[in-house]
Amino acid sequence: MAGSSRTTFAKRQKERARQEKQAEKAQRKQQRKQQDQQPDQDVTAAEKPKDLTITLDEEGLPQGFGFHDF
């Protein structure tokens, strides 16, 4: 009978270790997910179009936009 309680204890330890490992893995996955989302936000802010300024020529007519205006 004494041998069976030892195996039960070992099983409990093994199961507890498995649960802890699974929890750590889920936590790392969540951290990666958050890190992947943050750079996306920075990229969208950098790609946001600037407000274009319309310039007028001497006659008051709007000038065309150049390549560097975009």
Per-residue pLDDT of the chain (70 residues; tens, 9 = 90+): 556 778 899 999 999 999 999 999 999 999 999 988 876 555 555 566 667 777 888 888 887 776 666 5
Give the number of residues written for the chain: 70
Please give the residue range of the domain that contains residue 27: 2-61
d(CA 1, CA 26): 38
For residue 35, tell me if it sits in a domain. Answer: yes
Structure tokens at 19: 């649960």
pTM of the entire structure? 0.47
Q: How many structural domains compose the chain?
A: 1
For residue 70, tell me if it sits in a domain. Answer: no
Coil, strand, or helix at residue 52?
Answer: coil
Look up tokens 């319309």; give the residue. Answer: 54
pLDDT of residue 40: 57
pLDDT of residue 38: 78
pLDDT of residue 17: 96
d(CA 28, CA 35): 11
Phi, psi of 51 (to 5 degrees): -75, 130
For residue 67, tell me if it sits in a domain. Answer: no
pLDDT of residue 42: 54
